[in-house]
Amino acid sequence: MSHPAAADPRELRHALGRFATGVTVITTLDAAGRPVGLTANSFAAVSLDPPLVSWSLATRARSLAAFLATGRFAIHILDATQEALSQRFAAPVEDRFAGLDWETGIGGAPLLRDCLARLECSTHQAIAAGDHVLFLGAVQRFHYQEGAPLVFFASRYGLPAPDRLAA
């Protein structure tokens, strides 16, 4: 069944969720110097030369002011063992960094350890895009290691079993 996109945001969300993604945690510092961050799967590679990446942040997100003000962020691509970390950074908890081991990166952005890859960025552009702000990041430093990715598909972690894929 086809749906007019404007009429049915819930169905549109289901359609967009058919695009399997990895999962990232994106971090920065707020005006008081406190670490903030959130789980995001809108991350995409954009350009190699110059090195640019993108992601989008809901305008209602508590962290929007911090990301707009600092002009820096660190993107952490999570591995398959980090579902709990993804849940923590998507949940409405006061301090998502409590008890976590993190260090300070370029420009102060908090860096988490043991992820599949990490990209330290400066904000190249922040573009108003409907109910989100699209951030383009210029990658300044990166790190990666071997491992399996955390996958998100149809509002769940992991991929459906192969028999469901064939249905």
Ligand X SMILES: Cc1cc2nc3c(=O)[nH]c(=O)nc-3n(C[C@H](O)[C@H](O)[C@H](O)COP(=O)(O)O)c2cc1C
90 binding ligand X? (CB under 6 A): yes
User: Which residue stretch of 32-40, 110-118, 134-142, 159-167 sits at the interface with ligand X (rule: CB under 6 A)?
Assistant: 32-40
82 binding ligand X? (CB under 6 A): no
- Residue 78 to residue 91: CA distance in whole angstroms: 16
40 binding ligand X? (CB under 6 A): yes
In the complex, what is the shortest distance from the CB of residue 166 to ligand X, in angstroms, rounded to a whole number?
Answer: 25
In the complex, what is the shortest distance from the CB of residue 140 to ligand X, in angstroms, rounded to a whole number?
Answer: 21
73 forms bridges with which residues in the sheet? 121
56 binding ligand X? (CB under 6 A): yes
- Residue 131 to residue 101: CA distance in whole angstroms: 33
39 binding ligand X? (CB under 6 A): yes
Tell me which residue of 165, 132, 167 sits closest to 20, measured CA to CA.
165
Characterise 128 by phi-psi region: left (phi > 0), alpha (psi -120 to 50), beta (else).
beta
62 binding ligand X? (CB under 6 A): yes
The first and second tokens of residue 51, run together, are: 């090195």
Amino acid at 86: S
Binding site for ligand X (CB under 6 A): 23, 38-42, 55-58, 61-63, 86, 90, 92, 152
